Amino acid sequence: MRTSSSISRSLGALRLQAVQAPRAHALRAWHRQMHAAAAVVEDIPLPQTLPPSSVATSHNTTATTKHDAQRIFRDALAATEPRNTWTREEISAIYYQPLMDLAYQAGSVHRRFHNPAEVQLCTLMNIKVGGCSEDCSYCAQSTRYQKETKLEAKRVETVESVLAAAAKAKANGSTRFCMGAAWRDMRGRKNSLRNIKSMVEGVKGMGMEVCVTLGMIDAEQARELKTAGLTAYNHNVDTSREFYPSVISTRTYDERLQTLSHVRDAGISVCSGGILGLGETSEDRVGLLHTVSTLPSHPESFPVNALVPIKGTPLGDREPVKFTAMLRTISAARILMPATIIRIAAGRKTMSEEQQAMCFMAGANAIFTGEKMLTTDCNGWDEDNAMFGRWGLEPMKSFQKSKQPSADIGMAA
């Protein structure tokens, strides 16, 4: 028979266990609470989650989890060099910080690693329009939606036409020229690859950085592009691993990561980011950031796209993503990947000038500018140059970025 003292000890142990639940469990519960709070502000769909346990809802435990989240946030802000060992819980603790403070602190990190007055001007040319066999739900270039989108497929642009477009972009202030082709991969495209290498060599010869996005490539193709002088290869992961199958079925997440591995192994800079507004939750945005910030080395650039709904595609009727989601993702990305260039990509045309300025203050330091961005409209050079003048920004030079702010930053005019 159990004595009253042993029963008392057992009850005491149970109470102690309830109070001292593992911090990771409590922190996850706090993340769920912050997740819900962010959803109220940003009006975004949420995944179903289990209700917090009675332990996680106690006053003391809530205080502890907030303390843990603040500690994670402080440690991230104090980092002096990039790291790629982030956990999802750490990223959540950063991502769900109050937005004003998150953006402000991201701006402080940005100023330690970059010249806050510099923004890179990039121009993107679609060198092969339409005819893609993939089923990306957001893309008008898929043959699966061609009947509805009315987008006419075209042949690959000539080397001469591409170099003329690059020269025009340079004359207007762009220092990086990107070329995109609507292909699944480069298998069996030897002639096209040869022409693209000539394009790369020509653009590089103008003193511009050059980037291409050609779908999946293998190790040998990556080495050929490196030999031609390619600066960077873009291959977005788009969203979290969990949500990805809801958007694309013809290319796996791991195939995307394999292409990034080939690019990195060839010594080419990696450009990889995502698209917001696909129907993902904020937890999927955390997942996107986790994927990219835990690559073997951080990407040289991280494009943040806002979905531009195109009629005729499966996502053609989606509502535009909230600006707060863009700002929160950019801010978190700056803290997680302090040395990376963060590019405001598709959808920037829907932002006000003031919203763009907030993104620059929080750490974005590259934009796409020119006449078009693949199949969507883009802010023009004149418009962006005028904006730079109003906000005291200056174009980043090719192949370099200032580590220290300009001497006149912060001084009265």
Express each pLDDT in 359-368 by its tens digit: 999 999 999 9
The dihedrals phi and psi of 301, each to the nearest 5 degrees, come to -140, 150
Statement to judge: residues 87 and 146 lie in one domain: no
Tokens standing for residue 402: 């200032």
Say if residue 288 is in the same domain as residue 232. yes
Q: Label each residue of 332-384 as H, E or C.
A: HHHHHCCCCEEEECCCHHHCCHHHHHHHHHHCCCEEECCCEECCEECCCHHHH
Query: Distance (Å, rounded) from C-alpha 344 to C-alpha 373?
Result: 12
Of 271, 328, 334, 348, the active-site residue reads 271
Query: 78 and 149, same structural domain?
Result: no
Q: Are residues 36 and 69 in the same domain?
A: yes
- Reported as a pLDDT band with limits 50, 70 and 90, residue 403 is low
- For residue 313, the one-letter residue type is T
Res 375 pLDDT > 80? no
Is residue 401 situated within a structural domain? no
- Which entry of 28, 32, 122, 178 is annotated as an active-site residue? 178
DSSP, res 156: P
In the residue annotation, 271 being an active-site residue is answered as: yes
Among 28-32, 66-70, 98-102, 258-262, the range scoring the smallest mean pLDDT is 28-32
- Is 261 part of a structural domain of the chain? yes
Angle at 331 between CA 365 and CA 400, to 5 degrees: 25
Instruction: Name the domain boundary from 85, 112, 139.
Output: 112
pLDDT attached to residue 206? 97
Q: Torsions phi, psi of 377, nearest 5?
A: -70, 155
Residues 70 and 145 in one domain: no
| Confidence (pLDDT) at 144 | 86
User: Active-site residue among 28, 32, 139, 176?
Assistant: 139
Mean pLDDT computed over 141-165: 88
Q: Where in 87-162 does DSSP place strands (E)?
A: 118-128
Eight-state DSSP code of residue 89:
H
Res. 105 pLDDT band, cuts 50 70 90:
very high
* Domains in the chain, number: 2
Residue 318 lies in a domain: yes
**Which of 79, 112, 145 is the C-terminal boundary of a domain?**
112
**Active-site option among 28, 32, 122, 211:** 211
- In whole angstroms, give the CA distance from residue 278 to residue 156: 29
Same-domain pairing of 229 and 317: yes
Q: Which amino acid is at 52?
A: P
Residue 146 pLDDT grade (very low, low, confident, very high; cuts 50, 70, 90): confident
**CB within 8 Å of 52: residues ≥ 6 apart:** 29, 32, 33
Beta bridge partners of 234: 271
Span of 222-226, 379-383, 396-400 with lowest mean pLDDT: 396-400
SS3 content of the chain, % helix, strand, coil (to 5): 45, 15, 40
Of 78, 112, 146, which residue is a domain's last? 112
Bridge pairing between strands 376-377 and 372-373: antiparallel
The larger pLDDT score, comparing residue 100 to residue 182, is at 100
For residue 50, what are the domain limits?
14-112
Would 5 be classed as within a structural domain?
no
Residue (of 315, 308, 316, 225) closest to 271 by Cα position? 225
* Residue 310 within a domain: yes
**212 membership: H or E segment, kind and range:** strand 209-213
Q: Is the pLDDT of residue 103 over 80?
A: yes
One domain, residues 102 and 123: no
8 Å CB contact between 285 and 47: no
The CATH number covering residue 256 comes to 3.20.20.70
275 — pLDDT class (breaks 50, 70, 90): very high
Does position 150 have pLDDT exceeding 80, yes or no? Answer: no
Phi, psi (5° rounding) for residue 374? 55, -105
| Residue 43 scores a pLDDT above 80 | no
- Once rounded to an integer, what is the mean pLDDT over residues 67-91? 95
Statement to judge: residues 133 and 238 lie in one domain: yes
Task: Give the active site residue among 28, 32, 122, 132.
Answer: 132
What is the pLDDT averaged over residues 253-270? Answer: 98
Please tell me whether residues 95 and 61 are part of one structural domain.
Answer: yes
The one catalytic residue among 264, 334, 343, 348: 343
Q: What is the mean pLDDT of residues 195-207?
A: 97
Verify whether residue 378 is a known catalytic residue. no
**Would you say 377 and 126 are in contact if contact means Cβ atoms under 8 Å apart?**
no
Q: Which residue(s) pair with 126 in the sheet?
A: 180
Clarify whether 318 is annotated catalytic: no
**Which amino acid is located at 258 in the chain?**
Q
267 shares a domain with 127: yes
Assess if residue 7 is contained within a domain. Answer: no
The more confident residue out of 362 and 64 is: 362
* Domain-located, residue 48: yes
> Does 284 share its domain with 299?
yes
Q: Are residues 353 and 277 in the same domain?
A: yes
- 122 annotated active-site: no
55 domain residue, yes or no = yes
pLDDT tier for residue 339 given thresholds of 50, 70 and 90: very high
Q: Alpha helices, DSSP H only, in 143-218?
A: 146-149, 159-171, 190-205
Look at residues 381, 386, 382, 391 and name the one whose alpha carbon lies nearest to residue 413: 391
Q: Is 178 part of the annotated catalytic residue set?
A: yes
